[in-house]
């Protein structure tokens, strides 16, 4: 009997900290050998001429998330919307693009605890093929939720709490945000934050709509850079006050990134994430005829070409160290997606979010590595190693090392492709990246030793994805520096 279930032979293995030609021996879903030459396994895959990368880790994806209001600006009694993407379709899309693990969001609906939604979400996620972990959204931080339910989800392997500083049904006040921060600190969780100023956006939105400026392009006008910069500053200040590590999600501009850089220089544990949309799309994309601009509508808003350059610079400096997709797909056709409130709805009532699970790695590789903006090692760290480490998934995920899960993307760095919606293999009827020419494409994806995509054909058993429970991890431990030495979150006596 062969020593290995699968051998990946002859590739250039990119670890995030250097590249070397070596063979990879896989047994029981794990990497068990890395050597210049390994004997054939039960199966052998020729990776000659290809890069072998850790499977992508996308630590920010909205998949099949039953969201009340579907990320629109309106409040009130909104219909419940479920993202059109199921865990099954999302898994296919992720594998098509070289991603093997995701962290997605368990919702909390105002007026409810978090446990009922978790039970429902666990069942949905279990039907996919991707490996997955959860962030828990906190939109109603009652004492019951924070004191009784959070310890229970932590015990079930959830180690990140997500808060929104905007969106009508989701945003928290500063006081509520502080309560979440101290709860996270007490239980060893990371807090991930959507940073935009709720009141400022609400006020500008009302003024724009009153002035008849309702087209999709005014979405960008409702939330200029200053509202993101202010909320980023405030999130960092409040996190500093209680010594709680945070990750700032989807940074779209240099001004917000500079707030993060300043915090990092003060020694704070503040991390910044950006997404391909802030490197390739602009606010002008929303200025298309009729409803078309809705296809590019996400929050924060895409900015300008100049701003894209500044975001690249903040990636190069290391201020922004994770590139996720913020995959949140709503189809342009039908009644469940962007047009849920009608095709002439004001921008305020159009769901925010764009699909990007499959496009993330090809876009970042092409715009980053192929165009010489970042190195291959840096690409691997941004898309796999760093998100895995920050989310407490390393060293099982995000690395090519003995003992790690055998999650790999075999990558042709020379292969040219034009992004078209069928290539994305998602459930959404469009991609905002349609027509983008890329150099570099995944030719095979391996998840825990199983070849789940080859030449664009995805084959994996529904329900084969595994939940990735996360235990306590040092990387996000508080610094032990409290304002006046006063602990606002002492353990209960």
Q: For residue 305, how many other CB atoms are within 10 A of its CB?
A: 9
CA distances in angstroms from 186 to 97, 135, 170, 176, 241, listed in the order given: 37, 17, 23, 16, 14
Cβ distance to ligand DUC smaller for residue 243 or 273: 273
Q: Does 328 bind ligand DUC (CB under 6 A)?
A: yes
Q: SS3 of 88, please?
A: helix
Among 107, 188, 346, 353, binds ligand DUC (CB under 6 A): 353
| Number of residues binding to ligand DUC, judged by CB under 6 A | 9
| H runs (alpha helix) in 282-339 | 305-317
| Number of residues binding to Zn ion, judged by CB under 5 A | 2
Cβ distance to Zn ion smaller for residue 135 or 397: 135
- Return the H-helix or E-strand segment holding 416: strand 408-418
Q: To the nearest whole angstrom, how small is the minimum distance from the Cβ of residue 105 to Zn ion?
A: 7
Among 71, 134, 347, 411, binds ligand DUC (CB under 6 A): 71
327, interface contact from Zn ion, ligand DUC, none, CB < 5-8 Å by kind: none
Strands (E), 165-306: 190-194, 246-248, 270-274
The DSSP letter of residue 247 is: E
Q: Structure tokens of 293?
A: 């601009």
Q: Does 198 bind ligand DUC (CB under 6 A)?
A: no
Cβ distance to ligand DUC smaller for residue 352 or 385: 352
Cβ distance to ligand DUC smaller for residue 208 or 298: 298
Q: For the window 224-263, what string marks contact with ligand DUC as x by the rule CB under 6 A?
A: ----------------------------------------
Among 86, 252, 341, 352, binds ligand DUC (CB under 6 A): 352
DSSP-assigned states of every residue in 353-396: -B--TTTHHHHHIIIIIITTSS-HHHHHIIIIIHHHHHTT-TTT
Rounded Cα distance between 397 and 448, Å, is 10
Quote the distance between the C-alpha of residue 491 and its chain's center: 31
Among 194, 217, 338, 396, binds ligand DUC (CB under 6 A): 194
The DSSP letter of residue 73 is: S
Q: For the window 35-64, what string marks contact with ligand DUC as x by the rule CB under 6 A?
A: ---------------------------x--
Rounded Cα distance between 99 and 60, Å, is 12
Q: Does 194 bind Zn ion (CB under 5 A)?
A: yes
Among 64, 326, 367, 407, binds Zn ion (CB under 5 A): 326
Among 299, 319, 324, 366, binds ligand DUC (CB under 6 A): 299
Strands (E), 40-145: 43-46, 51-54, 56-61, 66-68, 80-82, 99-106, 131-137
Q: To the nearest whole angstrom, how small is the minimum distance from the Cβ of residue 154 to Zn ion?
A: 22
Q: Structure tokens of 344?
A: 């002439």
Q: SS3 of 66, please?
A: strand
Cβ distance to ligand DUC smaller for residue 248 or 328: 328
Cβ distance to Zn ion smaller for residue 356 or 398: 356
Q: SS3 of 160, please?
A: strand
Q: Does 298 bind ligand DUC (CB under 6 A)?
A: yes
Q: Are 176 and 191 in contact (CB under 8 A)?
A: no
Q: To the nearest whole angstrom, how small is the minimum distance from the Cβ of residue 329 to ligand DUC?
A: 9
CA distances in angstroms from 14 to 21, 132, 332, 347, listed in the order given: 9, 23, 38, 43
Q: Is 372 exposed, middle or buried (0-12, 13-18, 19+ CB in 10 A)?
A: exposed
71, interface contact from Zn ion, ligand DUC, none, CB < 5-8 Å by kind: ligand DUC
What φ, ψ does residue 143 adopt, rounded to 5°? -60, -40
185, interface contact from ligand DUC, Zn ion, none, CB < 5-8 Å by kind: none
Q: To the nearest whole angstrom, how small is the minimum distance from the Cβ of residue 62 to Zn ion?
A: 6
Q: Does 397 bind ligand DUC (CB under 6 A)?
A: no
Cβ distance to ligand DUC smaller for residue 146 or 328: 328
Rounded Cα distance between 430 and 298, Å, is 14
298, interface contact from Zn ion, ligand DUC, none, CB < 5-8 Å by kind: ligand DUC
- Interface residues with ligand DUC (CB under 6 A) are 62, 71, 194, 298-299, 326, 328, 352-353
Q: Binding residues for Zn ion, per CB under 5 A?
A: 194, 326
């Amino acid at each position: 009997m062969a020593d290995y279930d699968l051998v990946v032979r002859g590739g250039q293995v990119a670890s995030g900290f250097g590249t070397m030609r070596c063979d990879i021996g896989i047994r029981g879903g794990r990497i068990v050998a890395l050597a210049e030459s390994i004997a054939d396994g039960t199966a052998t895959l020729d990776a000659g001429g290809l890069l072998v990368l850790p499977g992508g880790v996308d630590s920010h994806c909205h998949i099949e998330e039953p969201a009340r209001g579907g990320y629109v600006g309106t409040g009130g009694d909104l219909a419940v919307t479920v993202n059109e993407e199921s865990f099954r379709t999302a898994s296919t899309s992720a594998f098509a693009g070289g991603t093997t693990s995701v962290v997605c969001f368990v919702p909390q609906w105002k007026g409810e605890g978090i446990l009922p939604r978790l039970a429902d979400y666990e069942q949905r996620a279990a039907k996919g093929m991707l490996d997955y972990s959860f962030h828990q959204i906190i939109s109603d931080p009652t004492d019951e939720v924070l004191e009784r339910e959070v310890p229970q989800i932590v015990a079930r392997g959830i180690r990140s709490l997500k808060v929104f500083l905007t969106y009508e049904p989701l945003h928290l006040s500063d006081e509520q945000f502080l309560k979440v921060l101290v709860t996270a600190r007490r239980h060893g969780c990371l807090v991930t934050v959507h940073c935009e100023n709720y009141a400022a956006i609400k006020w500008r939105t009302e003024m724009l709509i009153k002035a008849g400026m309702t087209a999709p392009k005014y979405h960008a006008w409702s939330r200029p850079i200053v509202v993101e910069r202010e909320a980023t500053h405030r999130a960092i200040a409040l996190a500093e006050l209680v010594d709680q590590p945070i990750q700032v999600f989807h940074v779209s501009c240099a001004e917000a990134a500079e707030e993060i850089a300043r915090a990092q220089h003060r020694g704070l544990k503040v991390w910044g994430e950006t997404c391909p949309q802030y490197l390739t799309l602009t606010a002008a994309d929303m200025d298309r005829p009729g409803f078309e601009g809705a296809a590019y509508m996400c929050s924060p808003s895409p900015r300008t070409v100049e701003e894209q350059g500044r975001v690249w610079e903040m990636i190069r400096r290391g201020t922004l160290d994770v590139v996720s997709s913020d995959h949140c797909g709503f189809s342009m056709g039908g009644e469940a997606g962007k047009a849920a409130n009608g095709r002439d709805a004001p921008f305020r009532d159009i769901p925010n979010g764009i699909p990007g699970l499959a496009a993330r790695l090809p876009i970042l590789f092409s715009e980053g590595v192929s165009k010489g903006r970042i190195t291959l090692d840096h690409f691997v760290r941004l898309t796999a190693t760093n998100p895995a480490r920050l989310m407490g998934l390393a060293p099982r995920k995000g690395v090519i090392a003995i003992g790690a899960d055998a999650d790999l993307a075999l990558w042709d760095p020379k292969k040219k492709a034009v992004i078209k919606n069928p290539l994305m293999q998602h459930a959404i009827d469009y991609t905002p990246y349609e027509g983008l020419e890329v150099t570099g494409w995944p030719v095979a994806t391996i998840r825990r030793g199983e070849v789940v995509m080859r030449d664009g054909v995805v084959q994996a058993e529904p329900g084969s994805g595994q939940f990735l429970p996360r235990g306590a991890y040092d990387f996000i431990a508080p610094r032990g520096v409290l304002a006046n030495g006063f602990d606002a979150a002492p353990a209960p006596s």
